[in-house]
Amino acid sequence: MIKNEIISLIKSKRARVGVVGLGYVGLPLATAFAAKGLKATGFEVDAAKAEQINAGNSYIGDVSTQQLRECVESGRLRATTDFDNLKECDAIIICVPTPLRKTKEPDVSFILAAAEEIKKRLRRGQLVILESTTYPGTTDEVLLTMLAETGLQLDEDFLLAFSPERVDPGNPDFQTHNIPKVVGGVTDDSTETAAFLYAQIVNEVHSVSSARVAETAKLLENTFRAVNIGMANEMARLCYALNIDTWEVIRAAATKPFGFMAFYPGPGIGGHCIPLDPHYLSWKARQHGFDSRFISLAEEVNSRMPDHVVQLVSDGLNDERKAMNGARVLLLGVAYKSNIDDVRESPALSIIDRLRSKGCEVSYHDPFVRELRFDDTHTESSGAALCSIELSDEQIKESDCVVIVTNHSQIDYHRIVNLARLVVDTRNALNGDLRRASSARIIRL
């Protein structure tokens, strides 16, 4: 049986695991397999990334250069742009991007491109796993159809499963090994084999009855976050209108030991998961005539947050009889969340764009992001790159308003509240002591 053959290769550490796409998800995964003594090959379309890996240099925060170097020097990890090496792999895990089209419909073209490369080389004895977040049915409707065109038979020749990635970049408490892994195969043999493979690198594997369940579980997780963050954002706007401290309200509610889970407002949602993934679910739902209203409502509320932040800046300046036009606004943090360098879908981009459209002179400081580039969706800023400035005393003092967009922990907020005139804090980075000691006027979300 193919299942037993692959499991025996894994057990004896003779299995080679191929990881297609070496980004935030793929590189930590390939490194985890190599660190546990399996042989791992990473497949990349970006030759510069493959070169970096083979030179032992990590470009992903969650993988240290030392960890990567050990794996590369031991010969257990290498990266390549040559997809012919897929033939050597006993398991192939796809970790390519799944963005949205401009119409907000799923763009699975990266999955299709990766699957095409696999299909060309599929051989008897391979387990293929999709990890990219996608709509329910991608694995058994799209991938299986493609792989079956080779004439090879599912279960007899190859196995196919879906296992969602749950990595949380920059989270020091949860890394690959201690985040339980959900696995759903297209067949039982596929589930069991994929679960056995992941058990080599994670403490807990949760098997489900199908790939569709695993695909949907991932979308539920991220939709849950999007909806609850939307609720927190709505509360923040409501509390602002009522002149009530949102953060104190949430802190109080969170003392309830059951039936409440704290979510926090912010300047808007970013990254390549929370703003995008719910659309994969609502798109699929629409194909079946179902309208997922929570998803659209959450998107509507969350996408208005950058406007609300700009309103807070405008209100703060107005109280000082200053106009937005010509105001010097300094953003602290542009990454979509704290302590990482990822600016994909970051609300900072929309905030900068909106501030510029009002005539503000915008600068930013982010210890993780040296340069910001704007694509053509940010019309005011299109084409122009902005570079992170040094956080000098003068820069802080001369700013009409400092906006904390991302609460990176290495920023000295004490210095900010002592030097700035007006601070808009969208992340509750300024705790009670800092606010009491502050000479700046502080407006919180």
Ligand X SMILES: NC(=O)c1ccc[n+]([C@@H]2O[C@H](COP(=O)([O-])OP(=O)(O)OC[C@H]3O[C@@H](n4cnc5c(N)ncnc54)[C@H](O)[C@@H]3O)[C@@H](O)[C@H]2O)c1
Which residues of this chain interact with ligand X, rule CB under 6 A? Answer: 20-26, 43-46, 49, 95-98, 110, 113-114, 132-133, 165-167, 169, 272-273
Question: Percent helix, strand and coil across the chain, each rounded to 5?
Answer: 45, 15, 40
Return the DSSP state at 53.
Answer: H
Classify 189 as helix, strand or coil.
helix
Separation between Cα atoms, residue 329 and residue 349, nearest integer Å:
14
- What's the min distance (Å) between Cβ of 60 and ligand X? 8
Which of 43, 413 has the CB closer to ligand X? 43
Minimum Å distance from CB 266 to ligand X?
17
Terminal Cα distance for the chain, rounded: 59
| Token digits of residue 6 | 């692959």
CA distance 352 to 224: 28
What's the CA angle centered on 332, arms 375 and 352, to 5 degrees?
30
- Residue nearest to ligand X according to CB distances in the complex: 23
**Nearest Cα residue to 122 out of 98, 163, 96, 94:** 94
| Smaller CB separation from ligand X, 164 or 267 | 164
Q: Which residue, 81 or 363, is less far from ligand X as judged by CB?
A: 81
Vertex 322 angle, CA 316 and 328, to 5°: 80
Please, what is the minimum distance in Å from the beta carbon of residue 96 to ligand X? 4
Least distance between ligand X and beta carbon 45 (Å)? 4
* Distance between CA atoms of residues 44 and 49, nearest Å: 7
Name the minimum Å distance from CB 381 to ligand X.
22
- Alpha helix ranges (H) inside 55-101: 65-73
Q: Which of 428, 411, 368, 422 is nearest to 170 (CA)?
A: 368
| Of 5 and 117, CB closest to ligand X | 117
Among residues 57, 34, 211, the alpha carbon closest in space to that of 132 is found at: 211
Looking at the Cβ atoms of 91 and 324, the one nearer to ligand X is 91
Lookup result for tokens 């020097």: 73
**Least distance in Å: CB of 218 to ligand X?**
7
Mark whether 71 is an active-site residue: no
Q: Is 258 exposed, middle or buried (0-12, 13-18, 19+ CB in 10 A)?
A: exposed
Q: Give me the least distance between CB of 26 and ligand X, in Å please.
A: 6
Smaller CB distance to ligand X: residue 18 or 333? 18
CB count, 10 Å around CB of 445?
A: 24
Query: With respect to ligand X, which residue has the nearer C-beta, 179 or 213?
Result: 179
Contact 388, 364 (CB under 8 A): yes
Residue 392 is given by DSSP the state: -
Query: In angstroms, rounded to a whole number, what is the distance separating the alpha carbons of residues 235 and 265?
Result: 8
Q: Which of 95, 273, 360, 401 is catalytic?
A: 273
> Hey, which residues are catalytic here?
273
